[in-house]
Amino acid sequence: MANHPLVILGSARRHSDTEKCVELLFKHQPHKVIQLLDFKIEPYRYSPDYSLEDNFLTTIDLVLLHEVILFATPVYWYAMSGLLKTFFDRFTDLVTIRKDLGRKLKGKKVFLLAVGTDDEIPSGFTIPFKLTAEYFDMHFVGYLYVPAKQMDTYFSNTPAPKAFLQNISIQVGKVYLPAFFLF
């Protein structure tokens, strides 16, 4: 079992504000990032006739190697990105055709990092993350919302990122000192 967080990056483009935010948050800290852009995850189907190129189960195998999971997503139209939503929709497979894998999610610690254009996270944004974690008997521990227009100063002028990273470090049993606080 890996003793560092797994970041599931749901941005629809590379070098996005969300990716930049992940890099700032975990600079010099052990973590693993998987970009959903690198995986072909087909939309959920009632009949599980996915193509051989479908990588959903591959991503779940990676998730199962980690105790702490961080979903990182831009805010698109007041909700998670389409890539991440498709990934979440496929969790249905984990309660139907692959219950064995779904049961293995129990006890995982879940965090959310969202980046958007508004000053505050949209109302109700965290609900799908909290309820999905609850359904699988995982623990939704917390979230961080970063306004993209403030990103350059947010990490040095706001205590929220430091507290968020410390909360993650508690869950993985390590004490991280955020690099953006090292001068």
Alpha-carbon 164 to chain mean position: 13
* Segments of 27-131 assigned E as strands: 32-35, 68-74, 109-116
Classify residue 6 as exposed, middle or buried by CB count within 10 Å of its CB (0-12, 13-18, 19+).
Answer: buried
- Per the prediction, the chain carries an average pLDDT of 92
Number of structural domains the chain divides into: 1
* Spatial distance between the Cα atoms of 40 and 19, rounded to a whole number of angstroms: 19
54-113: pLDDT as tens digits: 999 999 999 999 999 999 999 999 999 999 999 999 999 999 999 999 999 999 999 999
Please check whether residue 182 lies inside any domain of the structure: no
Q: Any idea what the CATH number is for the domain that residue 102 is in?
A: 3.40.50.360
Please check whether residue 179 lies inside any domain of the structure: no
Please check whether residue 104 lies inside any domain of the structure: yes
For the entire predicted model, the pTM comes to 0.92
